[in-house]
Amino acid sequence: MEVRWAGVSDAAVVARLLHDFNTEFDTPSPGVDVLAARLTELLPAGRTTALLAGDPAVAVALLTSRPNVWYDGPVLLLDELYVVPDRRGQGIGSTVLDRLLADATAAGVALVEINVDEADVDAQRFYERHGFRGGDVAPDERAFYYSRELRPPLGPDGA
Model pLDDT for residues 44-86, shown as the tens digit of each residue: 999 999 999 999 999 999 999 999 999 999 999 999 999 999 9
Residue 150 has pLDDT above 70, yes or no: yes
Q: Residue 5 in contact with residue 49, Cβ under 8 Å?
A: yes
Provide Rg for the chain, Cα atoms.
16
Q: What distances in angstroms separate CA 2 from CA 5, 96, 107, 115, one per listed residue? A: 10, 9, 20, 26
pLDDT range class, residue 35, cuts 50, 70, 90: very high
Q: Residue 142 in contact with residue 21, Cβ under 8 Å?
A: no
Q: What distances in angstroms separate CA 116 from CA 30, 88, 122, 133, one per listed residue? A: 22, 18, 10, 11
Give CA–CA dist 48/63, Å, rounded. Answer: 6
- What's the pLDDT at 45? 94
Residue 138 has pLDDT above 70, yes or no: no
Q: Residue 110 in contact with residue 73, Cβ under 8 Å?
A: yes
Residue-averaged pLDDT of the chain = 91
Higher-confidence position of 36 and 132? 36
| pLDDT digit string, tens, across residues 85-126 | 999 999 999 999 999 999 999 999 999 999 988 888 999 999
Give CA–CA dist 153/136, Å, rounded. Answer: 29
Residue 24 has pLDDT above 70, yes or no: yes
> Which residue intervals of the chain are DSSP H helices?
11-24, 32-42, 92-106, 121-129
pTM greater than 0.85 (yes/no): yes
> If you classify domain 3-129 with CATH, what class do you get?
alpha beta
The residues that bridge with 64 in the sheet, in sequence order, are 48, 77
Higher-confidence position of 154 and 36? 36
